[in-house]
Amino acid sequence: MTLHEHRLPGFVELAEPGTGAQGEVVLARHESGGPPVAIKYLAADLLGDTAARSLFRDEAQMLKRVDNPHVARLLDYLESPWGAAIILEAVPGRPLRKVLDEHEGALTPEAALATLKGSLLGLAAAHAVGVVHRDYKPGNVLVQDDGQSKLIDFGVAVLTGQGGQAGTPAYMAPEQWDGGPATPATDLYAATGVFVECVTGEKPFAGTTLAELKAAHSEGFTSFERVPEPVRPLVRHGLAKSPSDRAWDAYEFVSELESVAVQAYGPDWERRGLLALGAVAAAVVTAVPLAMLGGALLAPGASAAGTAAGTAAGTAAGHASTGLAQGAASVDVMAKTGTSASKGFLSKVGGPKGAAAIGTVGVGAVIAAWLFRPSEPGVGGEDHGLLHAGLTRPGALTSQPNMPASEGPTLDAKISIAPARVKPGTTVRMVVQVRARMPYGGKYLPGGRRQCFGKDANRQDIVQGYDWTVGGGDSPQHDESPGSGWQTVGLNLALYRSPPAEREKLAGLTSPLLLRAPPVKTDNVEAYVRSECAYMTEWTETRTLTLPGSTVVRPGRYLVSPINPLRVTKTIRDGKPIAPAEAGAFVEGTLPMIEVLDS
């Protein structure tokens, strides 16, 4: 238990703490405002333990090294006489462990591959700065509503080459059992093991005791008949007994994965995988921001192999969220609280301008509808929708014939409207959260492998000189600046009468009623993210209007869209228009619905 006097000054706790064996995790917000953060405290009874403090500090140092959209970001580490705290971004989501347990069966191959790819990108970022996670497992992967995942809990991470027995027995590589040096191949072994569990519904190695598990890992994986045939080469490569026979570089393993996935499941495999994974995750009712902190600290000198169950989960359940994954904002805790950080490091954390607030934009959005209407008649309630725009053949637009569909430009919009049941004269408010990806500066080789030369590269063989527009038929506005010129903002809301029975069928929606509602655009963040080889942009649009009388809007149900028409309206390659169909342009998802009552 971390006593109140050992709490970080200046923060208000928003949820009951999750207690682990060696510390606590709380969701909190600074009293002056700002986004929620997750704070991991060292237990009060360990504050006098030099070894425990050192382990805690080491975890923060490891997290400090890694800055990637697929890893939960460290915001600050503080240590003073009152105690020690690791402050991280609060990411709404669900542990993959909980997703698999409640799903009770195998994920689709595409969903399993999407999970593995996201994890590999997070591990690659850690490996690039010399950090080996050593405890990759389903409990340390956080799945968000859009199917994207984040790697969490670096509590037993070490620098490449360091040894020791630590990890979770079900996924520990043979060299971990022997206390050998940890390498990137160690993490890729565990990631492949989790992939096997995702795609088969069963753990890769059977055993109820440490001795049985150690023997199973030493003998090697043999149950290939349980694994879908197209992905067996990936499993064989990733679960090789010897590190030298395994995949070593996570980025190369991602290239291998994408090549297999495209050949076996088509160019849009990742979009379908993220949709499927997000749908499964959404079925897990509670999103747990604190789950990202995963295991509690190991006791000094202890190892997961010695406790069999590994580290205990330190989460606080019950905090549901349907919001987009929160971008991490740098927090200058020391300036607000007057406390000082150990050795003065990391009062602020951030990457290139704007990049800290941008997560990887997924190529899929969860096709789901949430209806929170009151049961009694009258004005009230709220409704939501999700739209995803992309290209199935992006190479036709970017002049990169080897570009996979998963690497193409995308736009995702989460839409909320309230109230969802209205009368004439009711004021209606729509909020649209937009996340977009604009590839730039990359060259794609056969098999889909990417080489990124950056936004300032002066080459003729890289992605450049293209544009695309989603909607915008009711507005001439168009911004030609890099990374934002490909999205035209409409001035009207489009209302579609007599919506189809299945709300995701958008293609048949035509002839909308247009109501003028210019958007107010806020929270705009744009940055070039080298790991994505793309401009990444986020912004929020808010539209407010007073519903006109029944002579304009008749009683009934309407789907409401901020985009009109609901399609990609323009694609330009090297300054010349091409047909959107040539690039496989599409818009899919759901729209929020309002019910107009008779006054």
pLDDT in tens, 214-233: 888 888 888 888 999 999 99
358 pLDDT higher than 70: no
Among the ranges given (289-303, 416-430, 463-477), the one the predictor scored with the smallest mean pLDDT? 289-303
307 pLDDT higher than 50: no
Average pLDDT over residues 471-476: 58
Give the percent of the chain with pLDDT over 70: 76
pLDDT in tens, 15-35: 665 665 557 778 887 777 667
Q: Are 123 and 92 in contact (CB under 8 A)?
A: no
Among the ranges given (119-128, 461-470, 564-573), the one the predictor scored with the smallest mean pLDDT? 119-128
Which residue among the candidates 135, 145, 153, 268 is catalytic per the annotation? 135
| pLDDT, position 439 | 94
Mean pLDDT score across all residues of the chain? 74
Give the pairing type, strands 450-452 and 442-444. Answer: antiparallel
Alpha helices in 298-434 (DSSP H): 304-307, 333-337, 395-398
pTM of the model: 0.49
Closest CA to 25 of 166, 194, 155, 147: 155
Match 């070593």 to its residue by tokens.
248
245 is catalytic: no
Residue 57 amino acid letter = R
Q: Are 496 and 559 in contact (CB under 8 A)?
A: yes
Q: Which tokens belong to 441?
A: 């500066």
pLDDT in tens, 156-196: 777 777 777 777 888 988 888 888 888 888 899 999 999 99
Adjacent-strand bridge partners of 422: 596
| pLDDT, position 599 | 67
pLDDT in tens, 493-536: 889 886 666 655 677 778 888 888 888 888 888 899 888 899 99
Give the percent of the chain with pLDDT over 90: 15
Q: Which tokens belong to 179?
A: 């206390």
Candidate ranges 281-285, 313-317, 359-363; pick with highest mean pLDDT: 281-285
Other Cβ atoms less than 10 A from the Cβ of 194: the count is 26
Q: How many CA atoms lie within 13 A of 244 on its CB side?
A: 0
Determine which helix (DSSP H) or strand (DSSP E) holds 515, and give its type and residue range.
strand 513-516
| pLDDT, position 483 | 37
Buried b (16+ CB within 10 A) or exposed e, 37-57: bbbbbbbbebbebeebbebbb
Distance from C-alpha of 131 to C-alpha of 140, rounded to nearest angstrom: 16
